[in-house]
Chains A and B, each alone.
Chain A
Amino acid sequence: MGPAVSRTSQNLLVTLLGGAVLWVSLFTTSYLNYVKPGFRWFLVAAGVVLVVLGVVGILRDRAGHAPRVAWLLTLPVFAILLIAPPPLGSDAASRSAPRPAVPVTAYKPLNTGLTAMSVGEFVGRAWDGKGSLTGRQVALTGFVVPGRKGAWYVARMQMNCCAADAFALKVLVRGVKAPPRDTWVEVTGTWIPPKTGGLPKGTVPPELAATTLRRLTKPDETYE
């Protein structure tokens, strides 16, 4: 069966792949689930090149063959459309071992009022040994990761290049009942300085004494 399957299918396959890349990058914002925002136009360019290559090939169509392994290129297309992978959430965050935030040389002094800051900045300030968080009201935005014995974390995934290198930034929240996992929330509260100095620096999530909790809708850009 299927005479001419080979060359026409190859070109259709390339067109399909290019279409999926354009779907992810140009027609939807789902590229934000996988890569950095700045990568978008690079993806669009690659998608356009693939679609042009495929369509020109379909029109010119010559005999030829490609290795069977080329069919695997349909797998990412199937995954993109049939699973529609969401941004990494509580499942990935609970797999990721706690890690120190990316080193930042200096943080600005905080105002006395309520300050909204990224989870990464909170973790960095909590562990830099300067105590700049002491007594300050902060607001953190992230998703809910359930912990042990009813404890929970507000967390963000931090990504440097793509979701494969993402790791979790977590803050343990005390004083407010846990919302369902993966809910996006804004918690306000104050830092709880660690009671003992014996914990290895940066390997245990810092803690927050929460006062208020507000539920949010999931943002387009979920990574920090």
Chain B
Amino acid sequence: MTATRLPRGPGADAEDLYPPDSWGRRTGSGRARVLWGFGLLVAGLVAGRVWLAPAIDWPALQTWATVFVAICVQALPFLVFGVALSAAITAFVPASFWARALPKNPAAAVPVAGVAGAVLPGCECASVPVAGGLMARGVAPAAALTFLLAAPAINPIVLVATAVAFPGQPMMVLARFAASLTVAVLAGWVWARFGRARWLRVPSRHGAETGWEAFRQAMLHDLLHAGGFLVVGGLAAATLNVVVPRAWLDTVAGVPWLAVLVLALLAVILSICSEADAFVAASLASFSPTAKLAFLVVGPMVDLKLIALQVGTFGRAFALRFVPLTFCLAVAVAVLTGWALL
């Protein structure tokens, strides 16, 4: 394997996220103080639930909070599942397994990883930590990134949901599968050819190397990293969800190229999980099938919470390059596929 383990980049964007080293020091009294503080916080929250929450009656804030909490609550089990799977890959699957399972040449490993994406049932929140775990275990980054893009878009649950949302239109399911897999493989190849190791911060593993202790530490580490960024994405998506009026959508539906772009951007903004986006696409009745396909291809690969998760897991330098690459590829391939199949 040519790029088994990448050196850590300068990592300036990573390190400035960390609190000072002195925070890590440990004395008994400090720990007790933290526990007391935590107890007070819980008591404060319970008191707030009893007295403050019933007094809040501001519909716009409540709508925003409902959407924000809904995004977090919906994504969290998938994140926990993805983080657990990623930690299990790190702690229990030996690196030699991946060397045997995947072709040595990254360019050949990319399509294999893309097809392997079909077996991870979950939405995009699960695939980011799993891709990180694969890289930490020595899988070529290009192959892991292809897996990251393919898994949420082409797994059986998502395809069945698409078939249910578009009854009598099996070509929509086929077009979604073909376009998503193509984008994932193309993005992997582009990364294998032009990607620089220093752009990508491969999640590193500290402490125990294998076993339950390693599992626990990897899980805690990934959860705190990715979880915080998931909240950032949830905040942005909830805000835009409430602020952007939907009524103007119908006015652009008539202009073909504009309709495609608008639905692709809507997929980025709404950050709907890939298991539900087909229903939303189906309800956008005034748009062309190609525009709906663009919505379905872009959504699982690029959206606000996913961008935030990628920044948190792989670093800002990575997201700055990978997100525009994926978005452009997704729109272009969706248009071509829609033109050919729909």
Contact = CB atoms under 8 A, between A and B. Distances in A.
Interface string A66-105: 1111111101111111111111111110011101101101
Interface residues of A, number: 82
Given A50-B223, A76-B234, 15 more contacts: A19-B42, A33-B70, A34-B66, A63-B26, A64-B24, A64-B221, A67-B17, A67-B225, A70-B227, A82-B48, A92-B66, A102-B282, A164-B70, A164-B270, A165-B272
Interface stretch (A6-14, A108-116, A131-139): A6-14
B80 A75 contact: no
A218 interface: no
A151 interface: no
Interface string A162-180: 1111010000000000000
A14 B73 contact: no
A35 interface: yes
A160 interface: yes
B271 interface: yes
B227 A162 contact: no
A163 B249 contact: no
Taking each of B21, B62, B247, B312, which has the highest tally of chain A beta carbons within 10 Å of its own beta carbon? B62
A73 B46 contact: no
Interface string B94-122: 00000000000000000000000000000
Interface of A: 2-14, 16-17, 19, 21, 24, 31, 33-35, 39, 42-43, 45-46, 49-50, 53, 56-57, 60-73, 75-92, 95-97, 99-100, 102-103, 105, 160-165, 167, 200, 202-203
Given A4-B31, A53-B223, A91-B59, A162 B73 contact: yes
Contacts of A96: 246
Nearest to A105: B167
Nearest to B212: A56
Contacts of B63: 88-89, 91-92, 95
Contacts of A56: 216
Nearest to A57: B220
Interface in B272-318: 272-273, 275-277, 279-280, 282-286, 312
Interface stretch (B33-41, B138-146, B170-178, B334-342): B33-41
B325 interface: no
Given A88-B63, A161-B276, A163-B70, A83 B53 contact: yes
Given A65-B18, A66-B224, A73-B228, A4 B66 contact: no
Given A7-B24, A102-B283, A97 B246 contact: yes
B19 interface: yes
A2 B41 CA distance: 16
B30 interface: yes
A11 B220 contact: yes
Interface of B: 14, 17-19, 21-27, 30-31, 33-35, 38, 41-42, 45-46, 48-49, 52-54, 56, 59-63, 65-74, 76-77, 80-81, 84, 165, 167, 206-207, 216-217, 219-221, 223-225, 227-229, 231-232, 234-235, 237-238, 241-242, 245-247, 249-250, 270-273, 275-277, 279-280, 282-286, 312
Contacts of A39: 74, 77
B227 A35 contact: no
A70 B24 contact: no
Contacts of B60: 91
A6 B70 contact: no
Contacts of B275: 161
A89 B67 CA distance: 12
B219 A53 contact: yes
Contacts of B217: 62, 64
B34 A2 contact: yes
A57 B216 contact: yes
Contacts of A35: 70, 73-74
Contact of A14 (B54, B67, B224): B224
Given A95-B246, A164-B241, A86 B62 contact: yes
Q: Which 5 A-B pairs have the closest CB atoms?
A: A161-B276, A69-B228, A163-B70, A91-B59, A162-B74
A201 to B, nearest CB: 8
B62 A21 contact: no
Given A64-B206, A90-B59, A91-B62, A3 B220 contact: no
Contacts of B249: 97
B46 A81 contact: yes
A164 B238 CA distance: 7
A30 B229 CA distance: 24
Taking each of A12, A50, A86, A162, which has the highest tally of chain B beta carbons within 10 Å of its own beta carbon? A162
A153 to B, nearest CB: 16
Taking each of B26, B53, B63, B70, which has the highest tally of chain A beta carbons within 10 Å of its own beta carbon? B70
B228 A80 contact: no
